[in-house]
Amino acid sequence: MVQILPPPPALKPEPIFHRISTTSPILRLYDPTKYGADARSFRSFGPISRFDHHTLPQGSSASRAILYAGSSVRGCLVEVFGDTRVVDVGFWMIAKMTSKRELQLLDLRGGNAMKAGTVASVCKDSNRAYSQEWSRYFYENHFLYEPEPGAMIDGLIFGNAHNDEDAMAFYERSETAFEVKGICQLRDASLRTEIRLSAIETGMCVIPY
């Protein structure tokens, strides 16, 4: 088993960056019945999820918040429902967004995780304490992870733990960049076929609705 060592990295990072253009689709699933979530809301409570960069102990941070997103409906479904393998559309909404400016994400996909100073397993391991610690390091040590002089990374892109599709974690630095292009209920008839195909392709099932 690959050992995930805590930061700092043993060698100086040689990070790879992924650019999100102003036309790139950014998809987000959210449940508006929980925590007052909306299409663009960043979660200040944490750390809970894989790359939460909130400071310990767990609680609400006034300065740090995060938003998780994907580039495909299938990727979003796997991130939300992959653990149970049961897609329950419930009250979930899906938002399509773009960015008003180019966003710079630290690339942790494949071998790029090693170039960032860690290992690819940090994106998969069930012990999220490792990935959260690395996310805090990426966030705080911006002088090591500058896409260009004076610029700070807006978040991370990584292969999710379920089917290795691209997933994105955006730091609150990017909060003002998002522009909502459309919102609909996950149960909308227009998404029915795509949801069912996504479930078949990933070995999940869909609760009839």
- For residue 35, being part of any structural domain is answered with yes
Provide the whole-model pTM: 0.96
Q: Count of alpha carbons within 13 Å of 172, Cβ hemisphere only?
A: 15
Residues near 30 by Cβ (< 8 Å), separated by ≥ 6? 37, 38, 39, 41, 92, 93, 95
Per-position pLDDT tens, the chain of length 209: 789 999 999 999 999 999 999 999 999 999 999 878 999 999 999 999 999 999 977 777 679 999 999 999 999 999 999 999 999 999 999 999 999 999 999 999 999 999 999 999 999 999 999 999 999 999 999 999 999 999 999 999 999 999 999 999 999 999 999 999 999 999 999 999 999 999 999 999 999 99
- In angstroms, the first-to-last Cα distance of the chain is 42
Here the tokens at position 98 are 């773009």
Q: Cβ-count burial of 24 within 10 angstroms (0-12 exposed, 13-18 middle, 19+ buried)?
A: middle
What pLDDT sits at residue 60?
A: 72
- For residue 205, being part of any structural domain is answered with no
- For residue 194, being part of any structural domain is answered with no
CA separation for the pair 26, 11 (Å, rounded)? 33
- For residue 102, being part of any structural domain is answered with yes
What pLDDT sits at residue 202?
A: 97
- For residue 208, being part of any structural domain is answered with no
- For residue 77, being part of any structural domain is answered with no
Number of folded domains in the chain? 1
What pLDDT sits at residue 107?
A: 98
What pLDDT sits at residue 43?
A: 94
What pLDDT sits at residue 36?
A: 84
> What's the domain range around 45?
17-72+91-187
- For residue 138, being part of any structural domain is answered with yes
CA separation for the pair 62, 179 (Å, rounded)? 23
- For residue 139, being part of any structural domain is answered with yes
